[in-house]
Amino acid sequence: AQKVTQAQTEISVVEKEDVTLDCVYETRDTTYYLFWYKQPPSGELVFLIRRNSFDEQNEISGRYSWNFQKSTSSFNFTITASQVVDSAVYFCALSESLNDYKLSFGAGTTVTVRA
């Protein structure tokens, strides 16, 4: 069963527009962890954020912000004032308490930012 769903396959925006990436997850655990990774064209996955299930506070880091809502099992990611360098594939991932080392990734959303 798919544990992480990223419904948006591709998003294309013009520079300086905001872009929001959706992530819906599924788990029966009460303790779990959610992640976002960025995969630029070079291919190397870059860690962006980790959130545990007990911390529902939204987080902002520069132009990045994350909205975690347990009620809807969503962990959405917004890039504000997008830049060309934000062009990449973004992955949402889940790990569960029993095997907390095992990341289950969504299929990814390709973001293209046009100048």
Partner 1 sequence: GAGVSQTPSNKVTEKGKYVELRCDPISGHTALYWYRQSLGQGPEFLIYFQGTGAADDSGLPNDRFFAVRPEGSVSTLKIQRTERGDSAVYLCASSLMRISSYEQYFGPGTRLTVT
> To the nearest whole angstrom, how small is the minimum distance from the Cβ of residue 10 to partner 1?
11
Smallest gap from residue 107 Cβ to partner 1 (A): 5
At closest approach, how far in Å is the CB of 81 from partner 1?
Answer: 26
Kindly determine how many residues on this chain lie close enough to bind partner 1 according to the rule CB under 8 A: 23
Structure tokens at 2: 């798919």
Q: Considering only residues 50, 63, 70, 114, which one is a binding residue for partner 1 as defined by CB under 8 A? A: 50
Q: 88, 65, 59, 61: which is closest to 78 by C-alpha? A: 65
Write the binding mask 27 to 46 for partner 1: x where contact by CB under 8 A, - elsewhere: ------x---x----xxxxx
Does an H or E element contain 114, and which?
A: strand 109-114
- Under 8 Å between Cβ of 36 and 95: no
How many C-beta atoms lie closer than 10 Å to residue 18's C-beta?
12
**Residue 70 per-residue DSSP state:** G
Return the residues of window 51-90 that contact partner 1 according to CB under 8 A. Answer: none
Structure tokens, 88: 């990449």
Q: Which residues bind partner 1 (CB under 8 A)?
A: 4, 33, 37, 42-47, 50, 91, 93, 95, 99-108
